[in-house]
């Protein structure tokens, strides 16, 4: 998901809508905006579909007055079942004795089910099936005297990955879990402030990127006091999500002080060194494989070409929640550039293999177009474990790499060769010159290594074996 919030900006909702539009790649199922205006109170609009189809209409934007607002773009992750229901669309809102508060959450709370059970037993009435709603109920039960105190107390009970943007009538708040799994950044525009999942959304509104919110940091921003920062959690060595660098974030964003594009290009360089092969062309599987394919081509000297063309009017395939739509999605989105491919030995570069559906379909299309050889190079290690921290990977049995060796995957997909970048190669590309520190890894890489930095307690309860 993607979160965005602003304070101290006239017509805040317009800025929030623009920010969410720039974060649309993080969630395409639904979106919502909450604002506050003293003359009308809290205002909220939550809609299915793209930001540009909902939050551009004057009739909608007119219902969101005020100089403070937050928003959310949603895609459902492992916690939720099937397609999004309206009641699961964020931001969530709660009314407390000292006033209302709205929250927008990116990540996944790993103890949400036990928290929910406990809260329901004590009288909380849940409106949604979302893990994020726990935060509102924990705030409601808190004895804290201010909303920021309650927010902080609630988050101390929550385990898992959370980057949360929240608001009161007069304050914008932001927090990142102690490991900093999901990103969150701070920006400034005139006298106003913005919080965003990624820097690309600061760029769109012309805000200056000030800094990242640090892992474990909470900021409370108000017009009188500016940005006040503190660290309410026990401090830990951060382990942000390495998959943000591989796939999830937009290539024009800066994360952990690094350009996402440059890291992806460097993964391609590592891949070319680790898994060279003779071929005529290096082609990306667009768009997610493009920077790595550029790096592979530059390092290997094999020409880069657009062997697969993407229909720009289709969203991310993976994010469509049902298998059937996903299956169609590959063909709706990608087509082979036949004239280029015929008779050529082609290296295809993609970011990841999850179920293997995409790779297999693309191989069919490429061979059908008359390619002489097809070699897959993947810009991440084999995805063998599900993510419980906010990225929608399927259960283990559906992950190709959980049930097959690399050779078996190569045969199943039906290509001449299949190679993945090593975990060390990935870490080097992400700026760790000595690769992965196996005693104390610098990133979360659980979907590749199976080493979960936060015990997924709800899942363990249900019998998941690490």
| Closer residue to Mg ion in complex, CB, 247/304 | 247
Which one among 288, 297, 380, 383 touches Mg ion, defined by CB under 5 A?
288
- Of 257-265, 292-300, 395-403, 440-448, the segment contacting ligand SF4 by CB under 6 A is 440-448
| Closer residue to ligand 5GP in complex, CB, 247/389 | 247
ω into 91 cis (within 30 of 0): yes
134 is in an annotated binding site: no
HSE value, Cβ hemisphere, 13 Å, CA-based, for 109: 20
Strands 373-378 and 417-420: parallel
| Shortest distance, position 387 Cβ to ligand 5GP, whole Å | 8
CA distance 58 to 49: 17
Catalytic residue among 1, 134, 200, 283: 1
- Of 76-84, 215-223, 229-237, 439-447, the segment contacting ligand SF4 by CB under 6 A is 439-447
203 is in an annotated binding site: no
Interface with ligand 5GP by CB under 6 A: which residues?
247, 285, 288, 316, 318-319, 350-359, 383, 391-393
Question: In terms of Cα–Cα distance, which of 174, 176, 175, 171 is closest to 147?
Answer: 171
Residue 225, Cβ density class (10 Å: 0-12 exposed, 13-18 middle, ≥19 buried): exposed
Are the beta carbons of 56 and 21 closer than 8 angstroms? no
Which one among 446, 454, 456, 459 touches ligand SF4, defined by CB under 6 A?
446
- Report if residue 243 touches ligand SF4, rule: CB under 6 A: yes
| Closer residue to ligand SF4 in complex, CB, 120/466 | 466
Number of residues that bind ligand SF4 (CB under 6 A): 11
Q: What separation, in Å, do the N-terminal and C-terminal C-alpha atoms of the chain show?
A: 25
| Shortest distance, position 170 Cβ to ligand 5GP, whole Å | 36
HSE value, Cβ hemisphere, 13 Å, CA-based, for 367: 14
CA distance 103 to 92: 5
Which backbone phi and psi does 329 adopt, to 5 degrees? -50, -40
Residue 242 binds: one of ligand 5GP, ligand SF4, Mg ion, none (C-beta under 5 to 8 A by kind): ligand SF4
Contacts of 132 (CB under 8 A, 6+ apart): 90, 92, 103, 105, 109
Residue 316 binds: one of Mg ion, ligand SF4, ligand 5GP, none (C-beta under 5 to 8 A by kind): ligand 5GP
Active-site residue, 134 included: no
| Shortest distance, position 376 Cβ to ligand 5GP, whole Å | 11
Which one among 209, 296, 389, 420 touches ligand SF4, defined by CB under 6 A?
389
Residue count of the chain: 466
Contacts of 411 (CB under 8 A, 6+ apart): none
| Closer residue to ligand 5GP in complex, CB, 62/325 | 325
| Closer residue to ligand 5GP in complex, CB, 81/234 | 81
Two structure tokens written together for 296: 């592979």
- Report if residue 179 touches ligand SF4, rule: CB under 6 A: no
Interface characters, 229-268, with Mg ion (x: CB under 5 A): ----------------------------------------
Residue with tokens 């290096």: 282
For 110-184, strand residue ranges (E) read 160-167, 171-176
CA distance 17 to 55: 6
410 is in an annotated binding site: no
200 is in an annotated binding site: no
Which residues lie across from 135 on neighbouring strands? Answer: none
| Shortest distance, position 237 Cβ to Mg ion, whole Å | 31
**Cα-trace Rg, the chain:** 22
Annotated binding site: 241, 288, 350-351, 387, 444, 447
Binding site for ligand SF4 (CB under 6 A): 181, 241-243, 387, 389, 391, 444-447
- Per the annotation, binding residues for [4Fe-4S] cluster are 241, 387, 444, 447
Q: Residues forming the annotated binding site for Mg(2+)?
A: 288, 350-351
**Which residues are marked as active site?**
1
Question: What residues line the site for Mg ion (CB under 5 A)?
Answer: 288
């Amino acid at each position: 998901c993607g979160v965005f919030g602003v304070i101290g900006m006239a017509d805040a909702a317009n800025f929030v809508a623009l920010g969410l539009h720039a974060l649309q790649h993080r969630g395409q199922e639904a979106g919502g905006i909450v604002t506050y205006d003293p003359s009308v109170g809290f205002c909220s609009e939550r809609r299915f579909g793209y930001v540009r189809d909902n939050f551009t209409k004057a009739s909608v934007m007119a219902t969101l007055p005020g100089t403070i607002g937050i928003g959310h773009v949603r895609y459902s992750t492992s916690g939720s079942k099937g397609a999004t229901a309206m009641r699961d669309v964020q931001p969530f809102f709660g009314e407390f004795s000292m006033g209302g508060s709205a929250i927008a959450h990116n990540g996944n709370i790993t103890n949400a089910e036990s928290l929910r059970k406990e809260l329901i037993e004590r009288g909380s009435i849940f409106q949604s099936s979302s893990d994020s709603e726990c935060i509102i109920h924990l705030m409601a039960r808190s004895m804290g005297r201010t909303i920021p105190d309650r927010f902080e107390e609630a988050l101390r009970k929550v385990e898992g990955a959370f980057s949360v943007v929240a608001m009161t009538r007069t304050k914008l708040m932001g927090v990142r879990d102690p490991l900093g799994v999901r990103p969150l950044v701070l920006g400034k525009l005139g006298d106003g402030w913005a919080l965003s999942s990624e820097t690309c959304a600061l760029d769109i509104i012309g805000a200056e990127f000030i800094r990242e919110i640090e892992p474990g940091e909470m900021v409370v921003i108000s017009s009188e006091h500016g940005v006040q920062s503190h660290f309410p959690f026990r401090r830990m060595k951060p382990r942000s999500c390495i998959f943000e660098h591989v796939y999830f974030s937009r290539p024009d964003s800066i994360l952990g002080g690094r350009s996402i594009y440059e890291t992806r290009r460097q993964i391609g360089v590592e891949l070319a060194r680790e898994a060279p092969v003779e071929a005529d062309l290096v082609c990306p599987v667009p768009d997610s494989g493009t920077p790595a394919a550029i790096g592979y081509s530059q390092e290997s000297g094999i020409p880069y070409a657009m062997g697969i063309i993407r229909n720009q009017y289709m969203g991310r395939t993976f994010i469509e929640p049902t298998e059937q739509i996903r299956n169609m999605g590959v063909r709706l989105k990608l087509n082979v550039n036949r004239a280029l491919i015929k008779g050529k030995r082609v290296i295809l570069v993609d970011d990841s293999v999850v179920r293997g559906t995409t790779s297999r379909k693309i191989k069919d299309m490429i061979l059908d177009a008359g390619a002489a050889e097809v070699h897959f190079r993947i810009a991440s290690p084999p995805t063998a474990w599900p993510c419980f921290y906010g990225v929608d990977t399927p259960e283990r049995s559906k992950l190709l790499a959980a049930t097959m060796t690399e050779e078996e995957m190569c045969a199943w997909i039906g290509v001449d060769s299949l190679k993945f970048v090593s975990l060390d190669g990935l870490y080097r590309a992400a700026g760790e010159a000595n690769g992965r520190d196996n005693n104390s890894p610098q990133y979360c890489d659980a979907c590749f290594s199976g080493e979960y930095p936060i015990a997924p307690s709800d899942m363990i309860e249900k019998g998941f074996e690490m």
